[in-house]
Amino acid sequence: MKVLHTSDWHLGRPLYGRKRYEEFKSFLDWLNNLIANEGIKTLLIAGDVFDNSTPSNRYQELYYDFLLKTSRTCCQNIVVIAGNHDSPSFLDAPRNILRALRVYVVGQKTPSAEEEVFVLFAEGSDPKAIVCAVPYLRDRDIRIVEPGEGIEDKSAKLTAGIKEHYREVCRLAREKQSKLCEEGYPKIPIIAMGHLFMAGGKTVSDEKVKEIGSLTRVETDIFPDFIDYAALGHLHIPQRVNGAKHIRYCGSPIPLGYKEANQEKTVIIVEFGDSVPDVHSVPIPCFQPLEIITGSLDEISMRLNQLQRENSNAWLEIEHTGVETAGNLLASFDESIAGSAMEILRIRNKSVFDRVQTSIRNEEMLEDLDIHQVFESCLENFEFSSHERSELLASYKEILQLMNEEDAHAD
């Protein structure tokens, strides 16, 4: 049986205000074709389907249209879990209707762990896999708040709650596997899904990308030895976790910012047979090139001319770092690419930035800082001990997490 693992689509994510609908649609069309050509039987979507909890009607249509098209291919099962960017109740709302298409959705921690364990069948009645579909676990789902808790206590309880939930879900999957073995179906693989931050995972800090994950990172020991594959979401870099071949992040399918511009994007195909699962990555084509150009006016102009000769359609981020005085850069560079398919999304004039006074500089930098850096800058203006700073920063992150976990679609 062939399984395809993807995650972190972030449907609806703009780039410096530029809409990216055609790019997302191109990816989903490509993915649908790949599923058909590779004979994929099960599709796993490991969270962050949408970029926010209130996706537009257009992106909702894109999502449901993809599920319908895919269900009409050779793909016999689709499992979707929510990520921290998704609205749990929004994803869950049509789950009973989607079940008719063999689309299994888990938007939030269920009342019973058994509801997160699915036995997937092929055409007919033969079981082919058992999936532990654990969604993004919110703080309020797994931690009981007690008076007087310190940050370390909260983090420890959160870690323990995540581990306990995975332990219970995996235990139930193991029981189902044993029962199926007794019924004459040996070697049914167990696949765990999760949207979480694993210790040892690599991240890319990027513009406007909010790091809202859990207050803690969990170790790979949350997955028992009998798990055949762990399909993870949340981190945008394709990677094995601590070198484990069977515990993987597939990464985001398109660059969500310029720091991901040169990063290879992938989906992962896992083929289960009688021996060890065969796991390999499939590169995703680039549907919209992103180009970062840095340098003096002459260096930037040379690169723009080169891209024009190559008939590039890249979206550009330009940073002028030369010492020469530069006036209206946008007008100048727009003129340079006139008639081409290229588009400038952002220009930064570092030469001007370096000459302004500190107060003005801080103001101009605000758009380049994430919310954590802004708060840390505020802390620097007050006299706090290192312990107090640590406590305040942790409390601030906890408040942000709770705010971002509010479900706009819930009652």
Q: 33-40: long-range contacts (C-beta < 8 A, 24 or more apart)?
A: 34/4, 34/267, 34/282, 35/4, 35/70, 35/73, 35/74, 35/75, 36/73, 36/74, 38/2, 38/4, 38/269, 38/282, 39/2, 39/74, 40/2, 40/3, 40/4, 40/73, 40/74, 40/75, 40/269
Residue 124 has pLDDT above 50, yes or no: yes
Tell me the pLDDT tens digit for each residue of 204-222.
754 344 444 445 688 989 9
* 180 Cβ neighbours under 8 A, 6+ residues apart: 119, 127, 130, 188
In terms of Cα–Cα distance, which of 347, 364, 395, 92 is closest to 215? 395
Domain map of the chain by residue range? 2-283, 290-404
Class for the domain spanning 290-404: alpha beta
Q: How far apart are CA 157 and CA 162, in angstroms?
A: 9
366-401 pLDDT, tens per residue? Answer: 555 556 667 776 766 665 666 667 767 777 776 766
Q: How confident is the model at residue 348 (pLDDT cuts 50, 70, 90)?
A: confident
Whether 128 and 188 have beta carbons less than 8 Å apart is answered as: yes
> Using only C-alpha atoms, what is the Rg of the chain?
24
Residue, of 191 and 353, whose pLDDT is higher: 191
Q: Are 190 and 231 in contact (CB under 8 A)?
A: no
What does the block give as tokens for 400? 């942000």
Whether residue 41 is predicted with pLDDT greater than 80 in this model: the reply is yes
What's the CATH fold of domain 2-283?
Purple Acid Phosphatase; chain A, domain 2 (3.60.21)
At 314-328, the pLDDT tens digits run: 999 999 888 766 667
How high is the pLDDT of residue 394?
72
Q: Which of 10, 405, 26, 64 is nearest to 234 (CA)?
A: 10
The answer to whether the beta carbons of residues 69 and 58 sit under 8 Å apart is no
Q: At 338, list the tokens.
A: 């006139």
Average pLDDT, the chain: 86
State residue 410's pLDDT score.
Answer: 59
Q: Which of 90-104, 288-302, 381-395 has the lowest mean pLDDT?
A: 381-395
| pLDDT recorded at residue 409 | 63
pTM for this structure?
A: 0.84
Residue labelled with tokens 């999760």: 194
Whether 158 shows a pLDDT value over 80: the answer reads yes
User: CA torsion sign, 73 to 78 to 83 to 88?
Assistant: positive
Given a contact cutoff of 8 angstroms between Cβ atoms, the answer to whether 135 and 407 are in contact is no
φ/ψ (deg, to 5) at 7? -165, 175
Cβ proximity of 43 and 6 under 8 Å: yes
| pLDDT attached to residue 325 | 62
DSSP string, 2-34: EEEEE----BT--BTTB--HHHHHHHHHHHHHH
pLDDT digits over 248-277, tens only? 999 999 999 998 998 999 999 999 988 789
* Amino acid identity for residue 20 in this structure: R
